[in-house]
Chain A
Amino acid sequence: MKKPSQYIRNFCIIAHIDHGKSTLADRIMELTGQVSERDMEDQLLDSMDIERERGITIKLTPVRMFYSADDGKEYVFNLIDTPGHVDFTYEVSRSLAACEGAVLVVDASQGIEAQTLANVYLALENDLEILPVINKIDLPSARPEEAKKEIEDVIGLDASYAPLVSAKEGVNIKEILEDIVRYFPAPQGDLDAPLKALIFDSYYDNYKGVILFVRVKDGEVKKGDRIKTFRSDKIYEVTEVGVFAPGLYEKSGLSAGEVGYIAASIKSIQDVAVGDTVINAERPAAEPLPGYKKVQPVVFCGIYPLDGSKFNDLKEALIKLRLNDASLVFEPDNSVALGFGFRCGFLGLLHMEIIQERIEREFSLDIITTAPSVSYKVVKTDGSELFVDNPSHLPPQSEIEHMEEPIVKVDIYSPPDYLGPIMDLCREKRGVFKEMTYLDANRVRLVYEMPLNEIIFEFFDSVKSRTRGYASFDYELIGYSTSKLVKLDILLNGEECDALSMIVHEDSAYLRGRSLCENLKDAIPRQLFEIPVQAAIGGRIIARETVKAMRKDVLAKCYGGDITRKKKLLEKQKEGKKRMRTIGSVEVPSEVFMQILKTNKD
Chain B
Amino acid sequence: MMAGIYVHIPFCKSKCSYCDFTSYPDKLCYAESYMACVYREMSFRSDELKGRSFDTLYIGGGTPSVIDESYIGMLVASARKNFSLSKDAEVTIELNPGTVTADKISFYKKCGINRFSVGLQSAIDGQLEDIGRIHTAQDFKDCAALLKGENFNADVLIGLKGQTAGDVVYTIDFAAEAGASHISMYALTPEDGTPIYTDYLNGELPDGDEVASLYEAGYARLKELGFVRYEVSNFCKPGKGSLHNLNYWRRGEYIGFGVSASSCIDNVRFTNTFDLDEYFKCILSGHLPVITSEEIDEEGRKEEFVMLALRTSFGLDASEYKRRFGGDFFKDYSAALKKTSRWLDVSGNNVRIKDEFLFVQNSIIVEFLEG
A554-B310 Cα distance, complex, nearest whole Å: 12
B360–A528 touching, CB < 8 Å: yes
Give the contact stretch, choosing among A306-314, A511-519, A561-569: A561-569
B-facing residues in A550-601 (Cβ within 8 Å): 550-561, 563-564, 566-567, 569-571, 573-574, 577
Among B186, B213, B307, B366, the most chain A Cβ lie within 10 Å of the Cβ of B366
Q: Is the CB of A566 within 8 A of B307?
A: yes
Flag if A564 contacts B269 (CB, 8 Å). yes
A527 at the interface (CB under 8 A from B): yes
B254 within 8 A of A: yes
In the bound complex, residues from chain B placing their C-beta under 8 Å from that of A551 are: 208-209, 212-213, 359-360
Chain A residue contacts of B361, Cβ below 8 A: 553-554
Task: Kindly provide the distance from the CB of B354 to the nearest chain A CB, expressed in whole angstroms.
Answer: 11
Q: Are B248 and A558 in contact (CB under 8 A)?
A: yes
Contact between B362 and A567, CB atoms less than 8 A apart: no
Do A557 and B189 touch across chains, with their CB atoms under 8 A apart?
yes
User: Given A563-B269, A563-B304, A566-B307, are A553 and B363 also a contact pair (CB < 8 Å)?
Assistant: yes
Do B6 and A567 have beta carbons less than 8 Å apart?
A: no
A554 touches B307 (CB 8 A): no
Give 1 or 0 for each of B241-277: 1 = CB within 8 Å of chain A CB. 0000100110000101000111110000101000000
* Bound: A528/B357 CA distance, A: 8
Q: Which of A550, A558, A567 contacts B360 (CB 8 A)?
A: A550
Partner of B189, one of A527, A528, A548, A555: A555
Q: Is B262's CB under 8 angstroms from A561's CB? A: yes
Q: Are A552 and B187 in contact (CB under 8 A)?
A: yes
Contact B294 A564 (CB under 8 A): yes
B249 and chain A: residue at smallest CB distance: A558
Taking a contact as CB atoms under 8 Å apart, the answer to whether A570 and B187 are in contact is: no
Chain A residues near B264: list those with CB within 8 A.
560, 563
Taking a contact as CB atoms under 8 Å apart, the answer to whether B362 and A569 are in contact is yes
Question: Is B217 an interface residue when CB atoms closer than 8 A count as contact?
Answer: no
Q: Please state if B254 and A552 are interface contacts (CB–CB under 8 Å).
A: no
B165 within 8 A of A: no
Nearest to B300 among chain A residues (CB) is A567
Chain B binding site: helix, strand, loop or mixed by DSSP? helix
Q: A552-B208, A554-B187, A570-B369 are in contact. Are A560 and B262 (CB under 8 A)?
A: yes
Q: Is the Cβ of A555 less than 8 Å from the Cβ of B363?
A: no
Q: CB-CB contacts of A205-245 with B at 8 A, as 1s and 0s?
A: 00000000000000000000000000000000000000000
Q: Check: B371 CB closer than 8 A to any chain A CB.
A: yes
In the bound complex, do residue B271 and residue A553 qualify as a contact, i.e. CB atoms below 8 Å apart?
Answer: no
Q: Which residues of A contact B362 (CB under 8 A)?
A: 553-555, 569-570, 573
Say whether A557 contacts B369, CB under 8 Å.
Answer: no
Q: Of B248, B260, B369, which contacts A571 at CB under 8 A?
A: B369
Contacts of B208 in A (CB 8 A): 550-553
Name the CB-closest residue of B to A560.
B262
CB of A528 within 8 A of CB of B364, answer yes
Q: A553-B362, A567-B303, A570-B369 in contact; A561/B260 too (CB < 8 A)? A: yes
Contact A556 B232 (CB under 8 A): yes
Contacting residues, chain A, for B358 (C-beta < 8 A): 554
A548 to B362, CA, bound (A): 17
The residue on A at minimum CB distance from B8 is A561
- Within B1-35, the residues touching A (CB, 8 Å) are 6
In the bound complex, CA of A573 to CA of B368 (Å) = 12
In the complex, are the beta carbons of A560 and B360 less than 8 A apart?
A: no
Number of interface residues of A (CB under 8 A): 25
Complex formed: what's the CA distance from A573 to B366 in Å?
Answer: 7
B283 at interface by CB-CB < 8 Å: no
B262 and A574 contact, CB distance less than 8 A: no
Taking CB as reference atom, which chain A residue is nearest B247? Answer: A560
B308 touches A528 (CB 8 A): no
B282 within 8 A of partner (CB): no
Q: Which residue among B248, B300, B362 has the maximum number of chain A CB atoms within 10 Å of its CB?
A: B362
| Given contacts A567-B303, A573-B362, A556 and B187 within 8 Å (CB-CB) | yes
**B174 contacts partner chain A, Cβ-Cβ < 8 Å:** no
Chain A residue, CB-CB nearest to B365: A570
* B200 close to A (CB within 8 Å): no
State how many angstroms separate the Cβ of B318 from the closest Cβ of chain A. Answer: 21
Chain A residues lying within 8 Å of B311, measured Cβ to Cβ, are 554, 558
Instruction: Please state if A556 and B366 are interface contacts (CB–CB under 8 Å).
Output: no
- Give which listed residue, B186, B209, B211, contacts A557 with CB less than 8 A: B186
Is A554 touching B189 in the complex (CB atoms < 8 A)? Answer: no
The chain B residue sitting closest to A572, CB to CB, is B366
Among candidates A527, A553, A567, residue contacting B307 with C-beta atoms closer than 8 Å: A567
Contact of B248 among A554, A556, A560, A574 (CB under 8 A): A560
User: Which residues of the other chain, B, contact A552 by a CB distance below 8 angstroms?
Assistant: 187, 208-209, 211-212, 215, 359-360
Q: Which residues of B contact A556 (CB under 8 A)?
A: 186-189, 232-233
Closest partner residue, chain A, to B188 (CB atom): A556
Distance, CA A456 to CA B264, complexed state (A):
60
Does B343 touch A at the CB level, under 8 Å? yes
B261 touches A561 (CB 8 A): yes
Q: Are A527 and B363 in contact, with the CB atoms below 8 A?
A: yes
Within 8 A of A (CB), among B316-371: 343, 357-366, 369, 371
Q: Which residues of B contact A577 (CB under 8 A)?
A: 366
Distance in Å: Cβ of A115 to nearest Cβ of chain B: 48
Q: Which residues of B contact A550 (CB under 8 A)?
A: 208, 360, 363
Question: What mask results when residues 401 to 425 of chain A are scored 1 for a CB within 8 Å of chain B, else 0?
Answer: 0000000000000000000000000
Cα distance A550–B208 in the bound complex, in angstroms: 9
A567-B209 CB under 8 A given contacts A554-B359, A558-B249:
no
Query: Which residues between 424 and 458 of chain A lie within 8 Å of chain B, taking CB atoms?
Result: none
- Give the distance to chain A from B69, nearest Cβ to Cβ, in Å: 24
Residues of A within 8 A of B249 (CB): 558
Q: What is the CB-to-nearest-CB distance from B189 to chain A, in angstroms, rounded to a whole number?
A: 6
Q: Report Cα–Cα, A570/B300, bound state, in Å.
A: 12
- Report A-chain residues with C-beta under 8 Å of the C-beta of B303: 567
Residues of A within 8 A of B212 (CB): 551-552
How many whole Å from B319's CB to the nearest CB in chain A? 23
Given the complex, which residues of B lie within 8 Å of A571, measured CB to CB? 369
The smallest C-beta distance from B62 to any residue of chain A, in angstroms, reads 13
Q: Which residues of A contact B211 (CB under 8 A)?
A: 552
Q: Is the CB of B271 within 8 A of A561?
A: yes
Report the bound CA distance from A556 to B262 in whole Å.
Answer: 18
Chain B residues in 8 Å Cβ range of A527: 363
Contact A554–B6 (Cβ < 8 Å): no
Cα distance A164–B233 in the bound complex, in angstroms? 79
User: Which one of A554, A560, A563 contacts B232 once the chains associate, using CB atoms below 8 Å?
Assistant: A554
Residues of B within 8 Å of A554, CB to CB, are 187, 232, 311, 358-362
Check A574–B371 contact: CB distance below 8 A. Answer: yes
- Distance A558 CA – B361 CA, assembled complex (angstroms): 13
Known pairs A527-B363, A552-B359, A557-B233; A563 contacts B248 (CB<8 A): yes
* Selected contact of A528 from candidates B215, B261, B307, B363, CB within 8 Å: B363
Complex: A567 Cα to B370 Cα, angstroms: 11
Per the bound structure, the CA–CA distance linking A561 and B292 in Å amounts to 12
Q: What is the chain A residue whose CB lies nearest that of B214?
A: A552
- C-alpha gap A563/B308 in the complex (Å): 8
Min CB distance A570 to B, Å, is: 5
Cα of A556 to Cα of B364 in the assembled complex, Å: 15
CB neighbors of A among B183-204 (8 A):
186-189
A528 CA to B360 CA, complexed, in Å: 7
> CA–CA, A551 to B360, complex, Å?
6
Which 5 residue pairs spanning A and B have beta carbons closest together?
A551-B212, A561-B262, A552-B208, A556-B187, A553-B360
Q: List 9 additional contacts besides A556-B186, A557-B233; criterion CB under 8 Å.
A: A551-B208, A554-B187, A555-B189, A557-B189, A558-B311, A560-B256, A560-B261, A560-B263, A564-B294
A residues near B (Cβ < 8 Å) are: 527-528, 548, 550-561, 563-564, 566-567, 569-571, 573-574, 577
A–B Cβ pairs within 8 angstroms, 26 of them: A550-B208, A550-B363, A551-B209, A551-B213, A551-B359, A552-B208, A552-B211, A552-B215, A552-B359, A553-B208, A554-B360, A554-B361, A554-B362, A556-B187, A556-B189, A557-B186, A560-B254, A563-B248, A563-B262, A563-B264, A567-B307, A569-B362, A570-B362, A573-B362, A574-B366, A574-B371
